Amino acid sequence: MAATKEELKKIFAAKVPVLIAELKEWFEEEAAAIDGSVEADAPSGPGGSIIGMRPAIDSKRIVDATVVTKKVLDIELPPQIIKAGGYASCEEMIADLVPKLEKVFIGEIKVKKRKAAKELETV
């Protein structure tokens, strides 16, 4: 028998602390510069550095957080729920994604399933 929406909400609520902790860890790793630091003397013009003008994590990179949602919630992170442009901070990402992930988890937001690689192959 499938769980009710209220049961799913309780299950999700119990997983939220772990989900947030894992998302924070993921964000820190992803937001770090490749060499571990952004050079303080990065070139900049009168408008400022290009490094400071982009989000910490863009929307395409957020899809990689599926590794976290699969581990904690056993669901993929649907691209449809990610804020266009990405997130300037971890707090912004969590505040936006966690409520949406709950709706996906309990079935209020329906998402298209990606086809497995074998299904995509033509013989």
In this predicted model, what pLDDT tens digit does every residue of 34-57 receive, in sequence order?
A: 445 545 455 555 554 444 444 578
* Mean of pLDDT values over 82-89: 92
Residue-level pLDDT at 58: 87
Q: Residue 39 falls within a domain, yes or no? A: no
* Mean of pLDDT values over 72-79: 93
Surface-to-core class of residue 80, CB atoms within 10 Å of its CB (0-12 exposed, 13-18 middle, 19+ buried): exposed
pLDDT over threshold 80, residue 9: yes
Q: Residue 122 falls within a domain, yes or no? A: no
- Confidence class of residue 31 from pLDDT cuts 50, 70 and 90? confident
Neighbours of 115 (CB within 10 A): 9
Q: Residue 38 falls within a domain, yes or no? A: no
Residue-level pLDDT at 12: 97
- Confidence class of residue 123 from pLDDT cuts 50, 70 and 90? low
Q: Residue 123 falls within a domain, yes or no? A: no
Has this prediction a pTM greater than 0.85? no
Q: Residue 116 falls within a domain, yes or no? A: no
Q: Residue 47 falls within a domain, yes or no? A: no
Q: Residue 37 falls within a domain, yes or no? A: no
Task: Supply the range of the domain harboring residue 71.
Answer: 5-32+53-108
List Cα–Cα distances, 122 to 13, 94, 116, in angstroms: 42, 39, 12
Residues 80, 109: Cα–Cα separation, whole Å: 10
Q: Residue 113 falls within a domain, yes or no? A: no
Residue-level pLDDT at 50: 45
For the chain, how many structural domains are there in total?
A: 1
Residue 121 vs residue 35, higher pLDDT: 121
